[in-house]
Amino acid sequence: MSSNSQSPTSTLPRILIIGAGSRGHAYARAVSESGEGIIAAIAEPIAFKRSLLGSRYIWSSEERSGQGQEFHDWKDFLQYETTRRSNAAAGRQVPPGIDGMFICILDEQHAEVITALGHLAIHTLCEKPLATTLRDCMAISTAMSSQQGGQSAIFGIGHVLRYSPHNMLLRKLVLEDQVIGPVLSMEHTEPVGNWHFSHSYVRGNWRKESSTAPSLLTKSCHDIDFLLWMLCSPAPGTNHPPHVPASVASFGSLKQFKRSRKPASAGTATNCLRCPVEKTCTYSAPRIYYDNQLAKGNTDWPVNIVNPEIEACYNDHGKAAAKEMLFKSLEADYDENISPKEISKRPWFGRCVWESENDVCDDQFVLLSWNDDPLPETLSTGSCNPDGCNSPARMAKTASFHMIAQTEKQCERRGRIYGEKGEISYDGTLITVYDFSTGEFQHHRPRRPGGGHGGGDHGLATHFLKAIDAVKNKNMSIEEAQIQHLGCTLEEVIRSHTLVFAAEEARLEKKVVDWQQWWNSVSVAANASAFETPPNSAQQS
């Protein structure tokens, strides 16, 4: 992935943020700090959140929003943009348009938005996961393609692990420098963090498979993508086809956060603020959100997820008022008189973690295997692989991924890669290479920039903006800019997501999935249904 000099301000890509939640703010901040783009508009139905992001990144405090800078939702933007383009075609003077957009809304809404806006051919970066069903993933793939079969616009996905300096160096060492020779096996772990899991996947939006998706998709789809990026995608500068897995298996369940694990001393309490053991409970909501966060002056994540207005309250009225607002939000609870449909519409951050309605896995393994796979040129020419003729150019290998909730570390991935000539260990800060032949260690400490995911948020946003700039100002084709700057194709996005669906099928049906057979059986049906017009799409209005 290349790095070009900054474009003049007048030609910088203009960006629309759809969704002013924590991810919308993260990408808006990354775009602003990069100097490679301009946040030009926001679409968000909650007025307070829309105003907050707009005042930070779009308009000044003296000047509210101008024309085309703020929309209630993506449908309003679609109507505005359709009219703007119609007026431009008629020769009327119109405001500048949008070059790219970041989709930062709820996972289950991604497909509807992207398929409805696809015909506008606006460069798109979608927060992970791409969608919550295989059918919707295929629909998005179709929406981002032109009638000629190629992409109609740059497409990026929030697989930020690809873009941190640490992981980019790790991949270079393994694939390009081949410091440990051919890879034989890899083990990779995502320690979610004990209270982080309780926040997002027990009390938060991603707690139920039926309303969102399995935690392997909503939390760890970019870890599966990371494995495929390391072991499946070809090295930069080669034209090799991907080395796709042969089989996938998975084991996991909800182990801790369920009613059978509730301490007897908690009695019938369903909310932390009315629980007799709250003071000593590991998952005390007052401790997590007040003692460890707001009391120390943090009004950002996770506090602003409990109530997005706490920051303004803290700044305008002080800590005591903000605490009162926080505890009022934590008091919210439900009982048998509230329908499951109503309960599923919102998170419940004061709810007892053992009384919540969550059902997603808090501990899961995914196991992958690859077969020997000689490169096409070695088959057609009879030539040897770089290490001789005794083994195939791409060897059989295995990989494991472990997502675990009950950890001290929070999302700081770690792992080990085993090769013929050595092994590598990594933990997000340090990469250690051990050479079998010399018995020596080499230690690498990549720079660790600010921002989320070890600099991955900033890296992804920057490379996405550079790809747009290359198409907009440098006459580069969409396909060239996609590869040169983002380094990730739409095909790779679809492959990594479908592997998650295959792993979930393997887990639920207690079987080993033959990847190629599984893909052949589901892709035809999924592709066929993807060409149907999605319900409630803007194309019908």
Residues 440-498 have pLDDT tens digits of 999 999 987 766 667 889 999 999 999 999 999 888 999 999 999 999 999 899 999 99
- The CB density around residue 411, as the number of other CB atoms within 10 Å, is 16
What is the rounded distance in angstroms from the CA atom of residue 290 to the CA atom of residue 327?
A: 9
Other residues' Cβ atoms within 10 Å of the Cβ of residue 222: 22
Q: How distant, in Å, are the alpha carbons of 127, 207, 211 from that of 344? A: 22, 9, 7
Task: Kindly state the tokens that stand for 442.
Answer: 């080499």
Q: Is the peptide bond before 129 cis (omega within 30 degrees of 0)?
A: yes
Residue 311, both tokens: 């920051």
| Rounded Cα gap, residues 358 and 365, in angstroms | 19
Q: What is the CA angle 130-202-156, rounded to 5?
A: 15
Between CA 321 and CA 193 the distance in angstroms is: 29
Domain 165-193+206-254+361-445 has CATH 3.30.360.10: yes
Q: Where are the domains of the chain?
A: 9-159+455-492+513-540, 165-193+206-254+361-445, 259-344
- Superfamily grouping for domain 9-159+455-492+513-540: NAD(P)-binding Rossmann-like Domain (3.40.50.720)
466 burial (CB, 10 Å; 0-12 / 13-18 / 19+) is buried
- Residue 500's contacts (CB-CB under 8 Å, 6 or more residues apart) are 129, 214, 216, 217, 220, 221, 224
**CB contact set of 457 (below 8 Å; sequence gap of 6+):** 26, 27, 30, 160, 451
For the chain, the average pLDDT equals: 89
pLDDT of 528: 52
**Phi, psi of 178, rounded to the nearest 5 degrees:** 50, 50
Contact (Cβ atoms closer than 8 angstroms) between residue 537 and residue 116 = yes
**Helix/strand/coil (H, E, C) string of 143-192?**
HCECCCCCECCCEEECCHHHHCHHHHHHHHHHHHCCCCCCEEEEEEEEEC
Structure tokens at 194: 């004990």
For residue 354, give the DSSP letter: T
Going by their DSSP bridges, the two strands 100-103 and 14-18 should be labelled as: parallel
Question: CB of 361 within 8 A of CB of 335?
Answer: no
Structure tokens given for 268: 């019938």
Q: What is the pLDDT along the chain (541 residues), one digit of tens a residue?
A: 433 334 444 589 999 999 999 999 999 999 999 999 999 999 999 999 999 999 999 987 556 667 899 999 999 999 999 999 999 999 999 999 999 999 999 999 999 999 999 999 999 999 999 999 999 998 898 888 764 567 889 999 999 999 999 999 999 999 999 999 999 999 999 999 999 999 999 999 999 998 899 999 999 999 999 999 999 998 887 788 899 999 999 999 999 999 999 999 999 999 999 999 999 999 999 999 999 999 999 999 999 999 999 999 999 999 999 999 999 999 999 999 999 889 998 999 999 999 999 999 999 999 999 999 877 654 444 444 444 444 445 889 999 999 999 999 999 999 999 999 999 999 989 999 999 999 999 999 998 776 666 788 999 999 999 999 999 988 899 999 999 999 999 989 999 999 999 999 999 999 999 999 998 887 665 555 544 433 333 333 2
CA 62 – CA 51 distance, rounded (Å): 13
